[in-house]
Structures are given as structure tokens and as C-alpha cells.
Amino acid sequence: MVFELHIWGPAFTLPSIDPQCLAAVAYLVQTVPRHQWVLVASSNEDIGHARVLPALRHDEYTVAGYENIVAHLSALHGGKYNLDTSLDTSNRADAIAFSSHIQTSLLPLLDLSLYVSSENYTDVTRPAYSAFLSWPSPYTIPPSRRALAKSRSSYLGLSSLDLDTTDTDEERRQKHLGESIIPERLRNAPVAQTVTGLLKKERSTARFKLEALVEAACEPLSELLGDKKYFLSDSQPSSLDCLALGYLALAVIPEIPQAWLKEGLVTKYKNLCEYVKRRVKEVFGGPIRVDAALYPASSEQEKDTIHKLPWQTPPAPSTMDKASALARSLTDGLPFTDSKIVTASDADAKAPAHPSMSSAVLPLSIAAAAAAAIGAYMFGPELSSLFGPQEMGNGRQDMGEAGDVLAGLNFGSAPRQSSGPPPREGRLRLGLRSMR
């Protein structure tokens, strides 16, 4: 019996970009002998029945989510893979309570840091996904994951992090022009601050709120850990240690422009930072390379020289898998598919002029977007040669996350220019253009 643990791919020198996946990896490293499991950076949510990673496969079973994986392994072979067997009643209660605390308080902070913050998402998080995802997933999965992070953290009231953090060229030109015309003594009007400027101010409202959130999340964990080697004892780790490592590693390890979360930990909670750095090396075996995870060495000896994790090459997605994922991501991102859709009972007082037409807009919009996505994938090069690459992917402004997906796609290259009359196929294409 060999366990297969499927996770989101590696990032920031860590085995995964997802905290629950990191926790699951840490748990298996410390409970299951290496020859009895493999680690697959599949980044395929369809592995789990609930479209959730991490997902553990063995025999006919598939278990998704860190807590479900821990419960499943703990029930096998009389608790052979149970990391918490030695915990007493008090420690078990602490493990449950602090596991809940980590997931409810640290997850929103990771959402804000890695996804909601525009600068961090654009410069670091999205490129990290692109490093391990195959086409067309880099254009569909990161926007979808970011939308989920925004939704989870919206109650914190810090959506202002999702703003451009730098001036555009036109704004800079206008600013320079104004400074050259207006005398310095008259330049005392207040200037709108960017998010970057706000975060750099020590006592800004946004910075103060972020610091308070970091303190509320990390202070209890710092007190629990104290000077101990692990969170609940000095003798051996628990499932709580695995979960804490998964979340804290993504707060401490990534190098990001807006590093308020890491700075808060380094400044006030040094014991947590030291714990993370020590445990990352002990559990994961040092920095993880993306290529080593996706294309592991062929021999066991070479694997051991790279790191201690039993990586297995992920299966290549089929054409239909790619088309299906692209269509699903587009329909998930359409503005018509969110929870703000007006129901029939709510619309009685605001009935449209043509209710039958209105009721058909949603399914037709979704079907059209899905069909366009699949068609573009299947016949991308031909469409690009007919219409040109720049004509394929505008229209982002009115489609929300789906527009982001379409704007990023590049379906092939424009036809090469050549001297002399175009061939018959070229004349057909030119004819089609003239009919537009």
C-alpha cells in the first residue's frame, strides 16, 4: 500500500504554495516511512472529490483536506500513523483549540499578504504559480485563487490593499507638469496616498489595523510555544506543529515587497520565526526547487542527495482536462455567477421589460464564455492568424475575473510577412478580414 499525496506545487523554496498542503506534507514526513508514500505536485483540484487539495490517495480511497487526511491516517493500523497518540487530555484540547485558531486567524492574513495585496500578488504570488502550472492554468488558476482569498478576507475591511501601488506614466507626467508650473510655496494641497505610501507610514490606519491582526493571531501561538522545542512538548511534535508550520512558513519564508506580516513576526515573535526556520530544514530537508519537484531524479540515490521528500512526476494533463479547466475557470469568474444574482422572488418589484429574455442571459453567457474558451484553446493558432493576437484578447474591463483570464491568453503568433502574392489560404484569410 503506497500513499499518494497530491498538493499544490512548490513556491518560495517550500514544497507547496498552500498552507494546508504544507501541513499535510509535514504530517506524512513524520508518520509514514518514505518508501510507503509519494508526493505529487499535481496542482489538480479534481483529484479530490470536493475539489480540494491536499488530497491523499491509496487503494480505492481519496481523502481531501488536512484534517480529514490526519483523521484517516490516524485510524489506520491501530494508530500506527497517529502523531498525537502520546498527548494527554489537556494537550489534545489545546491541539484542537489552537488548530482552529490558526485556520481562522492566520489564513486571512496570508490571504491579504499573498493575494489581496496587488503588489505582492503581481510581483511574487502569480509568478510563483506560473512556475509550476502548465498552460492554460497560469491564466485561470491564480485569478480564481485570488478571488477566493478576497472573499475569505473581505470581512476584515482591508480591500484597499487591492489598489494600484504605483502611479501610471500619465499620472507621473501630470504631476511633473504641475510641479513645473505651480510655485513651491503654493504646493500645499493634500495629495492622494497610494497603498504603498500608507503602509510605509508607521501610524497609518491601515498599518495599525494590520499590526493588530498580526498580534491577535501570533501572540497566543508565541505564548504556547515559549521556549519549548514543539508547541505542546519538548519531546515530540504533534499534528498542531504540522499545521502551524504550514501557515507560519508562508508568513516568514516568502520574500515579498509588502512584507508587513513577516516584519510583524520578526519584530515581536522571534521564537516563532526561529521555530519555522528550524522546522523547515528538519521536515522538508532544506530549500525546494521547482524543477526537482516536477521532474524528480530517476534514481533513489539522486533523490536523497536533492532532499528528503519522495517526489513523483505529476501526470501530464490531457487536452480535454485543459479545456475543461479553462471553461470552468471562466464561468466561475463571470460576474453573473456570484451571490448577487437577483432571484425570481426578489425581482417581482423590479421586473424587467422582457423577463424571458432576462432569464436566458445567465446560461447563454456562461455557455458562450465556455465555448469561446474551449474553441480558442482548440483552434487558437488558426484564430490568431485570422484576426491577429491583439484582436483576440481585449474586452477585459467588463468581465471581472473572466476578463483577466481572456486578457492574459496568447493564442499563437501572427502570420509571417512574405514578399509576393499570398497563397490561396492567405487570400482566404484576407478575404475574411475584409468582410469584417
What is the Cα–Cα distance from 105 to 109, expressed in whole angstroms? 7
Residue of 308 and 196 predicted with greater confidence = 308
For the chain, percent of residues with pLDDT exceeding 70: 58
* Higher pLDDT among residues 296 and 194, named by residue: 296
Q: What is the pLDDT of residue 305?
A: 43
Output the pLDDT for position 354.
40
pLDDT for 384 beyond 90 = no
What's the chain's average pLDDT? 75
Give the Cα separation of 133 and 127 in Å (integer).
10
Is the pLDDT assigned to residue 369 strictly greater than 70? no
pLDDT at residue 316, as a whole number: 78
Domains and CATH numbers, the chain: 3-114+203-312 (1.20.1050.130), 319-340+356-415+422-435 (no CATH)
User: CA 159, 165, 167, 168 torsion: positive or negative?
Assistant: negative
For 107-132, write each residue's pLDDT tens digit.
999 999 999 999 999 999 999 999 99
Three cell numbers at 243?
499545521
**From CA 185, how far away is CA 406, in angstroms rounded?**
48
More confident residue, 164 or 285: 285
pTM score over 0.95: no
pLDDT for 320-337, tens place per residue? 666 666 666 565 545 444
pLDDT band at 142 (very low <50, low <70, confident <90, very high): very high
Phi/psi at 2 (nearest 5 deg)?
A: -115, 130
- For residue 321, what is its C-alpha cell? 482536462
Instruction: Report pLDDT for 242.
Output: 98
The residue ranking higher by pLDDT, 96 or 198, is 96
Per DSSP, the three-state class of 436 is: coil
